[in-house]
Structure 1
Amino acid sequence: MLELSYAFNLIIKSLESRMKEHGFSLDYPDEVRPPEVPLMQEGKSRYIIYRGQKGRVKIEYSEEKLALYLADADDESADSDMTRASLTLLELDTYDERDLRYIFDEFAETFENFFGVKKTQAGKLKLPTPVSKNAAKTGALSYDPLTLGNRFVGIYQEFKDDYRDNIEKYGEFLAEEFFIEYGNKAVLATIKGNDKIKIRKLFNLLNEIYEDGTNETQSLIAVTILGELYKEPELFERVRENMSDILAGTVEQVVKYLSSGKSKGARIRLKNPPAYRPPKKKKESSLMKMMGM
C-alpha cells in the first residue's frame, strides 16, 4: 500500500537526475518548500509540474490513474490543457514500490522520446516499445503479446531478465515460450497463494489486456496462460470473480474443452509449442538482379 505523497516523492527522486540534465525544475507553490512534495490540486486531481527551457512536464494522479503530460517550449496551452503522453494504473491500496519502478521506466522512455534525447548504450539491445494504455483505450492500437509480457514483468520483476533474454535470443518476443517456461508458473503460484491483493493485481492486468488485445493476445491469455487451470478446475472457480465477464466466459469454455477427452492434441501443443522458425528472406529474382534492383 502506498500513500500518495510518498508515491510522488519516489517519482520525484527517480526523475531527479534526468530532469536536472535537461533543465527542468519542480514548480513549488508559495507555501511549500523542499523537501516537501509540491503537490497541487485541481478538482479531484493531484499533480506536480516541472518547467524548463524545453517545455513542461506534468504528472497527475486522479481516480487510481497516473498520467504524464508533456508540452514543448512552443506550446502555449494552459497547464490544464497539456497533451497526455502516457496513462497507467496506480492503485494505492495494492501497488508497491516495485510497481512504481515500472511506471518510472515507462514515463522516462516517453519523456525521452518526446524531447528527442533518447540514448542507448553501445551494443545493448533496445527493447521493442509496448503499446501504451492511451493508444489502446482510444482504439488507435490493440495490445499485442509483447505488451502483455512487458506489463507482466512489471508485476513479476524476477522475470525481467528472462523477458529480455527471450527478445535477445529471437529478435522478437516469443510469448508462448516465455509464459510456458516462466510466466504460467508465477500465475499459478499467485492463484494458489490465495493472496487477494496479488490476485486482484494480476487480473486487473489480464482483464485490461484481454479487453483491448489482439486476437493473438486474447488467445495467449485465455488458452496459453489461464488454460492451465484445466488441471485444477477448483482454481478457476476461486479466481472467476476476479475475471471480467467476457474473460471468464472464454476461460470456462477453454477449461471445459481441455478437461474433455477430445483435447489430447491441444494439451500436447500447449505443453510443447512449435519450435521458432525465423522468417525466410525473400529471394531476389533474376529479373530484379538484371535490373540492378
Structure 2
Amino acid sequence: MRSPTVEGQSWDNVEETRSTPSSVKILLRECRGVGVTFLIPTKAQIPWSPLMGFQCVYESYFQDERKLWFPLPRLIASFARRRDAAISQFLNGSLRLAVAMMVMAAEIDVSMSVRAFEELTYLKSMGEGLFSIYMRLNYNVIAGHPNKTPHWQRFYLYVKSDEIAFEDPPGDAFRFLWNAELGRALLITRYCFSPRSYQFSSFVAVDHPDTTVYPEEFIANACAVALLVQESWENITLERIRRVIDKISRRDWRSDLLSLVVGNKR
C-alpha cells in the first residue's frame, strides 16, 4: 500500500473514484482488456497512490472519444517515462492524439516511435498537475477533436503493471506520483524541418540528454506522417484501429530512452 498523503501531491481537483467493478469489467471487455488485473481505489486512495506494481488510468482513456486499448501501447508508457510523468497526469486529448498518430503511421507502414511523436507534438501544462499534448502547428494532420469530456477525472482505477495490461510494462522506477516539476522540462532537442521539402532549416538545442543514440529513422518517419492529408478524428474508427494493431505493436524502435533533463541549462 502507498499512502495518499505525500508532500507535493495535494491537487484540489481530484475526487474519489466513481468507478465500480461492474463499470470496469464492461470497459475491459470492450477494449481487449480480458485478463487485466485491476483494483478499484478506496475512498482514501487517489491517482498518485496506486498499490505497488500498479498504475492509475482513467476509464475515459478507453471510451469512444479516445479509443485506447489493452495492452496499453508502448508509445504511451514510453512518452510518460521520457517526461518522468505518471500516465494519469495526461488529459484525454493527449491519448486521443497518440491513438490517431499511431493508426495513421501504421497505415503507411511507419512506426510512431516516441522520438517521432516528440517531433510532431508539444506538451503544455494545464495547471493542477495536469498536462496535454498538442500537434505542432505546421504538422497538424488531425482535425475534428471532440469537446471536453465532463467529469472524466471522477472515474479511475489501478491496473497491474504486467504484460497483459502494458506492451512495455512499467518497471519499479516508473513514476506513479504526479510530477510537479514536469513543466520545467517540456522542450526537447528538435530538428526544425519542412515536411513538404524534407529540408532541415535549423537546430534548436534545449534541455535534453544529447548523448543517446537513436537507431531508428525518427525524422524520416515524422516527415512521412506530417505529409499526410489532414484526417478527421471521426474517421479513426475502432475497425480501422483493429486493422493496424499488429503493426503498432511491432518492436522496431527504442522505448527505454532516458528521461528529459530538468533544469535551466542549455
TM more than 0.5: no
Structure with the higher fraction of residues in helix conformation: 1
* TM-score normalised by structure 1 residue count: 0.29
Larger radius of gyration: 1
Give the TM-score, by structure 2 length: 0.31
